[in-house]
Structure 1
């Protein structure tokens, strides 16, 4: 027992304790970051108070995960000839299209989902002049769905790159879904919670596991050191001989 309390062994105990404590603490910190980032991505902001677009997003900014669904107020002028349809959009179980037009706020143009229609041939006339729209902020889509006819005004996804050629202005790297249908269109449905991707903050989780593995390794080294020290310090008993 005295061997375990020698200055040399006490130093080993303290060093092992500090190493394990640091590894566990850093692992918990990384694990907490992983949880916080996933919670932020699933944050439901759809019922939050609408904010001016300029207070939420700059012309060159990308939408963060904790901004998806934030209601924003957009004041601007409708861009002529910017209207497109986005296919494959359901509403109350019916398949249809989003009707999208660009609203130029002066700093940049924001694609706005004006509403939903089941028949692409009955889309209301494109709005003109100034307007004020309140809509939910969304990140551009980009699942890579193929466009069967790139020459028409129907797209499989709402990608800003597809709209740039139609708008003679800088564009936000985002879009907004109007809370109310515009120009006689039915309001478009919106998923309240953005999906959490499996890779969200995965690096933080892997760092946490790495730190905890380091802590276990440090504890194992300490155990081996104590065992070997006790073995080497044990007196060697003479083997009795028969006379």
Structure 2
């Protein structure tokens, strides 16, 4: 068997198999490494628990990039009591309810004073007409009636907005913290009695319901992680703080990559097995050929001996022996 393995053609094939096995081994190691690497917390995991100024992640009129979604941010501004609405279909602890959503007029987002248009000639305008705004989810209610009652309560508590000319004076503005989320697509519900009902957190739909047009707005929304400041009297009865689902940072092994790594290991075994089977078949064929040659040689020797014996006994016996051999 070892002599057969040392044949040049099988040694050359073994060299090719080794090259293939090295490639399979690298692919298997890559899949295995990917399985454990993807299970580790991302390098920016700390960014999803540390609040940063909102202006570092998004600007008015710009889209929200994927790496900024779900991150906690801070912003300073005023909540407009005139633009409180309910949004249906909001889940909390497995129960479907309503969000109370408002408008935050952003006075400071962490990047300096925000640009504002000339408001000197605006009669009766508030800061809502001078500064950009962003929708904010304030709280969750189990029923639409509880959400409506909470809106009525908040409308009485929240002070009126300052005049537009005072947009740079942030006295009385709220310092809010929340999770930044990308805006959703509007949902059209033809079965609803109220055509103004809102079923999704779509900034483009919400801004069309605001009392005062905003010079610009954010294409995202905030989910406040503590409701409105306690200076407003806390959360109204029936309105709960929204449970913000944190980004999952747990160790989760990627089983698909593990299965791929196992497959490459199987391919390595199969490559060696195929080479071994080819060598073994060659060895068995050689053995069979050698065995056949030995049998033919033994038969020829027997015939020669029989001829010699027949020759010694006489011509007739020799003829009979030859005829017998021919029959065989």
* TM score, norm. by length of structure 2: 0.54
Which of 259, 263, 276 is equivalent to 1:226? 276
Whole-angstrom CA distance in 2 between matches of 1:220 and 1:54? 57
Corresponding residue for 1:113?
137
Answering whether residue 73 of structure 2 is matched by residue 26 of structure 1, we say: no
Corresponding residue for 2:175?
132
Q: Give the total of aligned pairs.
A: 229
Q: 1:23 to 1:2 in 2, by over 3 A?
A: farther
Q: 1:205 to 1:110 in 2, by over 3 A?
A: farther
Corresponding residue for 1:163?
206
| Higher RCO structure (Cα 8 Å, ≥6 apart) | 1
Aligned to 1:74, the other structure's residue is in SS state strand
* Gapped regions of structure 2 (runs ≥ 5): 107-113, 116-131, 163-172, 303-328
Whole-angstrom CA distance in 1 between matches of 2:281 and 2:92? 75
| Alpha-carbon shift at residue 31 of structure 1 (Å) | 2.3
Whole-angstrom CA distance in 2 between matches of 1:221 and 1:143? 56
Whole-angstrom CA distance in 2 between matches of 1:232 and 1:91? 71
Corresponding residue for 1:61?
64
Whole-angstrom CA distance in 2 between matches of 1:79 and 1:63? 29
More helix by share: 2
Q: 1:122 to 1:194 in 2, by over 3 A?
A: same
Task: Provide, for residues 151-193 of structure 1, a one-character-per-residue CA deviation record: whole Å limited to 9, x for no partner.
Answer: 33x4233233432423532323343224133544345231443
| Alpha-carbon shift at residue 29 of structure 1 (Å) | 3.5
Which of 207, 219, 228 is equivalent to 1:172? 219
| Alpha-carbon shift at residue 89 of structure 1 (Å) | 4.9
Q: 1:171 to 1:238 in 2, by over 3 A?
A: same
Conserved? CA contact 2:83–2:103, under 8 Å: yes
Task: Provide, for residues 178-237 of structure 1, a one-character-per-residue CA deviation record: whole Å limited to 9, x for no partner.
Answer: 4133544345231443579xxxxxxx8767655653553354234212321332255232
Which structure is larger by alpha-carbon Rg, 1 or 2? 2
Aligned to 2:136, the other structure's residue is in SS state strand
| Alpha-carbon shift at residue 79 of structure 1 (Å) | 5.6
Corresponding residue for 2:195?
151
* Gapped regions of structure 1 (runs ≥ 5): 197-203
Whole-angstrom CA distance in 2 between matches of 1:94 and 1:205? 32
Q: 1:135 to 1:20 in 2, by over 3 A?
A: same
Aligned to 2:174, the other structure's residue is in SS state strand
Whole-angstrom CA distance in 1 between matches of 2:282 and 2:91? 75
